[in-house]
Amino acid sequence: MTTPRQSCAPERFSAHVGVQRLTDDGGRVRNFIAEVQVSCTDCGEPFHFLCPDTGFSFTRPTVNVGATMLHAPIAPGEAVLPDRIRFEVQRPVGSGS
């Protein structure tokens, strides 16, 4: 868990999403990446993303060094439905295993 730097209790949010085309040396588009940033509208405090690795990947989400920008690989069209779906639920502190 993290602690906000401001005394603001975030209730309103702003998100910025940019889409980048990644091209090869010949200028052909090879991949697309959505770049997402979220902040508190009231105080401007940036949110950071929990979990993804820092860096850049064409196959899985990653974040920048400060974890304030999510880089998510995307593609046009509809995706094939997955064979399995995985959900993770965090247990409350103090609950048994």
What is d(CA 45, CA 71) in angstroms, rounded to the nearest whole number?
19
Kindly indicate the confidence band of residue 71, based on its pLDDT and cuts at 50, 70 and 90.
very high
pLDDT of 81 reads 80
Rounded to whole angstroms, the Cα distance separating 97 from 93 reads 10
Q: For position 43, what pLDDT does the model report? A: 92
The structural domains of the chain, with segments of one domain joined by +, span 13-74
40 forms beta bridges with: 13
Query: Rounded mean pLDDT of 4-15?
Result: 83
The pLDDT, as a whole number, for residue 1 is 46
State the pLDDT at residue 3: 61
Mean predicted lDDT score pLDDT of the chain: 88
Tell me the per-residue pLDDT of 31-69, one tens digit each, with 9 for 90 and over.
Answer: 999 999 999 999 999 999 997 799 988 889 999 999 999
Does 84 score more than 50 pLDDT?
Answer: yes
